[in-house]
Structure 1
């Protein structure tokens, strides 16, 4: 077939047209600002984003021995692995995650061990102690401050707060000596049945006076409790237990002081103690 023949011209036009079409498709695939694909590499188009500027091409490295039909490499290298989405990620990220998990586990284990030790010793997990108020330990049962909602006492005579702060004294059985009543009250305090931790700070047997600190098991709030056993004014009348219980922190105790005193009285009832309001009936 000679160069000037019609068949040669038709073949040349077909060859040039096919070449230009392939070149146009390749340029449209690569973009105007991307370099052409080199030997051994294959371009993979990323999903179209909202903006053409955000669209990118991923280059997946191919290892080929000259055979164009060999499938592209899909396994990670020695320093790579798969994540949960099936993507190839460096092992360094996995190691950081593993170290973080181990560190968190160690901290949690140490915290649980420390909490167990604190629980075993009876100490609260956190100690929110406030300074000891003035007047406690004096041997006297004082009135509560005006407007106080975190204090209960038998000495309160203020009518404005009598409904919230006042509580009647406890009467011990007729015929029981004040010293015997003092010993029984002290025994109940030392074996307090509630969850709080009772610490006997001061005892004055000559005045039959006890000063106790009660501490909550978790946050370590401290309440001050004072008790004094008074002798009877008449052999036919029972003696009384005067007391005061007040919180150091907070304006309101949410009934904690009265609940504590109720537990103490519950144990003393087994030995004949009762409120004076019941004894007078």
Structure 2
């Protein structure tokens, strides 16, 4: 009996690892297209400054900043990297894409920031690759960026 329980647990763990590996594949369409992020999916595990304003599930206000665009981007990059669970996928002046891995299961969120050259605002999109709900993790992450740039 115990042997079957152990085998079942091992099979479930292996299945979960395979699922997470395949599910965490980077989605197509990330990055900027004509100054726009990929739209959020219908699930509530994404937040974006470019979602429709009347979409309270996904919409967040862009962050107005003062100072130099390059310095603000470096501050954001430094903050994200210091969290210990993020790495930069791509970065150029005005745009940066991070992958942020959850500590327990290893799910990946894609976090993008866009600082247009003509405006002193930070646009962002933070979205889970898998699942339905993120328990507010993506919105909380962006609230920390608001606080970081408000100081």
TM norm structure 2: 0.76
Shift of 1:156: 0.8
1:137 equivalent in structure 2 = 31
> Is contact 2:85–2:102 with CA below 8 Å preserved after alignment?
yes
| TM superposition shift of 1:165 | 0.4
Does residue 244 (structure 1) correspond to residue 140 (structure 2)? The answer is: no
Alignment match of 1:219 (pick from 97, 100, 105): 105
In structure 1, the partner of 2:59 is 166
Equivalents in 2 of 1:215, 1:149: separation in Å? 18
Please say if 1:202 is aligned against 2:97.
Answer: no
Partner SS for 1:137: coil
Say how many residue pairs are matched.
Answer: 130
Within-5 A mapping of 1:65-104? none
Quote the Cα distance in structure 2 between the aligned partners of 1:132 and 1:243.
Answer: 17
Question: 1:3-61 deviations in whole A, cap 9, x for unaligned?
Answer: xxxxxxxxxxxxxxxxxxxxxxxxxxxxxxxxxxxxxxxxxxxxxxxxxxxxxxxxxxx
| Structure whose alpha-carbon radius of gyration is higher | 1
Q: Which of 139, 142, 155 is the matching residue for 2:50?
A: 155
Runs of at least 5 residues in structure 1 that lack an aligned partner in the other structure: 1-125, 234-238, 271-281
After TM superposition, list the pairs within 5 Å mapping 1:241-280 onto structure 2: 241-270=122-151
- What corresponds to 1:35 in structure 2? none
Cα displacement (A) at 1:188: 1.6
The alpha carbon displacement at 1:229 in A equals 1.0
Higher relative contact order (CA 8 A, sep 6+): 2
Cα distance between partner residues in 2 of 1:232 and 1:171: 12
Please identify runs of 4+ aligned residues in structure 1 that moved more than 4 A: none
| Alpha carbons 1:137, 1:202 under 8 Å: kept | no
Conservation of the 8 A alpha-carbon contact between 2:32 and 2:38: no
Cα separation, 2, equivalents of 1:151 and 1:219:
19
Q: Which ranges of structure 2 fall in alignment gaps of 5 or more residues? A: 1-16
